Structure 1
Amino acid sequence: MADLDKIQRTPQSLIDPALLALCLSIEAKRARTVIDHILEHGIITNEELSDLYGYDHPPRAIRDVRENGIPLITHNVISPKTGRRMGAYTFDDVSKIKRGRIGGRKAFPKRFKQDLIEMYGARDAVTGEGLDERYLQIDHRIPYEVIGDDNSGAKLDPAEFMLLDASSNRAKSWSCEHCDNLITKHDPQICRRCFWAFPEDYDHIAETQSRRADIVWTGEEVQDYEKLKAEAQALSMEVPALIKQKLRE
């Protein structure tokens, strides 16, 4: 655990001119907020992102910066305010600039969502639940921060994207943000074997040997769920634990 006061700051006066030029070229508001703070103070913490700028999910703002190709170092520190662990961030070396990510995510053509629906159906890739298409969002199977848009000049390949509802997208984002592959390795092949990229065929979840099944009860099926819930409560169990027990019987 690093001492916050002893971390090497990276203010504007100390960073490489090429990195500074890239920083000053970023226009996205959330990424720019992080960049400007580090340029002025040399460091930013999750606590500052929350308290000063009102971001409920600080790691998302940090991810925005990285998705624009700007390298950051993550430091694990103790908050002087709360005594809890938190992230602190400084600029990394100019050699770590991710060229394929400069400029951030590219907008998808309007037709592309329909291409995905025609390929996969109007359903969430994680839960398999059929949804009104307006609730579905396009997401890279392999996180943008790992693979970028290095092939952005080519026609988009629907096989490299998936449709998720907002809840699944948030869950995937949280898991990826805490995965060592996204933080340090940036190996697309590790992602290709992950549940969050290919839930239909995977052998790990964020590099952990796990398996997952998302079950949604709808319509008349809800009464089946309520029976399971009542049985689980009577046994002082959670519903997933009861389902596992029944499968073993």
Structure 2
Amino acid sequence: MDSSQQQPLLPDDFIQLCRLVTAKRPKAVIDHILQYGFVTTEELKQRYGYNHPPRAARDVREHGIPLETFRVTGSDGRRIAAYRFGDISKARFSRLSGRTGLSKQLKDELIDKYGCKCFIYLEKVDKRELQIDHRVPFEVDGEPELEAESFMLLCGSANRAKSWSCEHCENWKTIKDKSICLSCYWAYPESYTHVAMQQVRRIDLMWQGDNIESYEKLKQQTVRLNKEIPEFIKDIIEREIRQNNDS
């Protein structure tokens, strides 16, 4: 469906601050809402090509612009999510809003300090594909100081996975305790005690470039053994641990 509804009158200062956001994805969401009053997940996918609409909405919220989610009827008659501005009195605009030079400077600082890699997959990624993300979600602790330690670099896949996990975490939804985030995998994958408040340990692996051949061989072995790839990898790790303990 095309979004169109009577918009509430927005203060000029709020509109001006919205215009400060220049990053492509949140800007598309903001501009659409400013024009039509709201934007649906269907429109974000079909018109703008964003296959993970909650991530686009989160981008807006991370710039300090409140959004609320509600339900509308999609073009196929099903109920779908839509986004509109929330309580504008709660707007807290990010230091990165409209400051692409500062954003570039922060990315360069992170790369200099940690390398040009995704913090989750720990694989080298083209600089253009890396996205700056808060270690502690904006929705939990607001805007941190512009220090490299408060941010991380994620590839698109890792960013989407983190978004989904965080948005379904009770700390995100109700508790809002920064210390819980600081001990979470999604903030510090190298040292954590939980994953979104669940007692889980995880390893995210990626094969790329020359390593893809190794993955295909691994996959062939799992087919012969009638095992799933994660199960087979766990077997290899456990066997290695036992051998080291016995030696």
Q: Same fold (TM over 0.5)?
A: yes
2:81 partner SS: strand
The residue correspondences of 1:15-164 to structure 2 (distance < 5 A) are 17=11, 21-27=13-19, 28=22, 30-31=25-26, 33-35=28-30, 37-38=32-33, 41-75=36-70, 77=71, 79-84=73-78, 86-97=80-91, 99-101=92-94, 104=97, 106-107=99-100, 108=102, 112-113=106-107, 115-130=109-124, 136-152=130-146, 156=147, 158-164=148-154
> Contact conserved, 1:10 with 1:91, CA < 8 A, in 2?
no
1:171 aligns with 2:161: yes
* Aligned match of 2:7: 11
1:194 aligns with 2:184: yes
> Contact conserved, 2:44 with 2:53, CA < 8 A, in 1?
yes
Contiguous gaps of at least 5 residues in structure 2 = 240-247
Cα RMSD of the aligned pairs, angstroms, is 3.8
Deviation, 1:53, is 4.6
> Contact conserved, 1:193 with 1:201, CA < 8 A, in 2?
yes
Q: Percent identity?
A: 46
The residue correspondences of 1:218-237 to structure 2 (distance < 5 A) are 225-237=215-227
Contiguous gaps of at least 5 residues in structure 1 = 1-8
C-alpha separation between the residues in 2 aligned to 1:43 and 1:133? 33
1:6-49 deviation per Cα after TM superposition (whole angstroms, max 9, x unaligned): xxx88224x6x4xx631343223654554454456544321233
C-alpha separation between the residues in 2 aligned to 1:213 and 1:177? 20
* Aligned match of 2:205: 215
> Contact conserved, 1:100 with 1:150, CA < 8 A, in 2?
no
C-alpha distance 202-214 of structure 1, shift in aligned 2 (>3 A): same
Select between 108-117 and 166-175 the one with higher mean Cα deviation. Answer: 108-117
> Contact conserved, 2:14 with 2:88, CA < 8 A, in 1?
no
2:159 partner SS: helix
What is the total number of aligned residue pairs between the two structures? 231
C-alpha separation between the residues in 2 aligned to 1:69 and 1:219? 38
Select between 36-45 and 62-71 the one with higher mean Cα deviation. Answer: 36-45
Q: Given the two structures, how large is their TM-score scaled by the length of structure 1?
A: 0.69
Deviation, 1:233, is 0.9
1:12 partner SS: coil
